[in-house]
Amino acid sequence: MIQNESLRIGLVQLCSRQDVEENLERSEAGVRKAAARGAELIVLPENFAFIGPAARKAELAETLGQGPITSRMAALARELGIYLVLGGLPEPSPEPGKVYNTCAVYGPDGQLRGAYRKIHLFDIHVEEAIGFLESSTVAPGNQPVVLDLPPIKLGLTICYDLRFPELYRHLALQGAELILVPAAFTLYTGKDHWHPLLRARAIENVVYVAAAAQFGRHGPKRFSYGRSLLVDPWGRVLAEAPDGENEVLVATIHRTRLQELRRQMPTLQHVRPEHLGIHAKRDNGPPGKKLGLGQRRAPLGGCPGTPSPVPWQGVAPHPPGSQLTSRCNLRATGSLPTFLYASRFPFFSVLSHLTWMAELFHGGETS
């Protein structure tokens, strides 16, 4: 259990492939090694249990805590008395043929403490030989998550989310002091972008950033960069894993240092949302209620998840196939900019951005 103002963090670096059992054995070995070195919060990378043909994701998808992967990892967390972060695994979604890419956090009692579904999906084409279309098999999440693990507040993201600073600013403004980035960053982009992006997210939000990464060759055409990192709120790299499979990184963060740096550099207190329209307070007033400057309508194509019955912010655990967005209304919301959610619908993305601009200048509702 986390007892004081310091926290020992363990980052497990893997090279996961198609053999799920072998991947789980390596994951468990890494977690045990980190725990033996005093880690209280241990993070596995994205896709820790499987990297292989995208079509198999649906076969491996499981409801959190009810399948062989999450049940095994929950038992491990309970045995070792640690917080264990499963950096990304397939969870059933309501969309036919698609799963969520979900980061799940289990507590020292083996209970699910919270889960985050990856919002930004990796659909890129950087050169002729390198292209990914994550959205072909993965449904996007729509709810940022901050967990309260006293004395620290934990923000959750996954891999490609790292390129979207507005998500990290939102997490920081919601109180996150440590933001996790479990990842399978490609070698092609990672060699130039991994370090600058992680350090930038830490500096601009005055938070600790911890990134557990995949490394090496997963198959004929897929390579991950590795270099798991822990960055402090000043942008200094506190620890970095070497190139290699099955590396374990353990380091300590100090909440008192974060508080001191936030006093010295109080950038989060200087945010001017009324001029940017990206973080207004939630307002679930009547449908016809006028919006104040910076307030936004809930996005087309997604809405915040159902209220959680457990004490963490985010979508509540739910049975597979449940319709999280079936009863969405289009009332005022300030959870994130509309364009974060509208990316699945390009026309509405453009329309919503134009609407935002009109609201920004006129300070009211548009139709």
**Residue 135 phi/psi, 5° resolution?**
-70, -10
Crossing angle of helices 187-205 and 165-173, in 10° steps, is 30
Q: Which two tokens stand for residue 73?
A: 């990892």
46 is catalytic: yes
Give Cα 12 distance to the centre of its chain.
17
Beta carbons within 8 Å of 199's beta carbon, 6+ residues apart: 209, 231, 235, 237
Give Cα 201 distance to the centre of its chain.
13
Alpha helical stretches, state H, the chain:
20-36, 56-60, 68-80, 165-173, 187-205, 255-264, 273-276, 338-341, 346-362
Query: Which of the residues 15, 40, 46, 103 is marked catalytic?
Result: 46
204 is catalytic: no
Q: Which two tokens stand for residue 127?
A: 């050169």
Beta carbons within 8 Å of 335's beta carbon, 6+ residues apart: 143, 144, 170, 282, 304
Crossing angle of helices 68-80 and 20-36, in 10° steps, is 10
Q: How far apart are CA 286 and CA 232, in angstroms?
A: 43
Q: How far apart are CA 201 and CA 232, in angstroms?
A: 10
Candidates 3, 306, 315, 307; CA nearest to 149 is 3
Strands 99-106, 83-92: pairing is: antiparallel
Q: Name the DSSP class of 248.
A: E
Query: Which of the residues 40, 57, 62, 118 is marked catalytic?
Result: 118
**Residue 32 phi/psi, 5° resolution?**
-65, -40
Beta strand segments in 222-297, E = 222-225, 229-231, 237-240, 247-254, 296-297
Query: Which of the residues 15, 57, 62, 159 is marked catalytic?
Result: 159
Catalytic site positions: 46, 118, 159
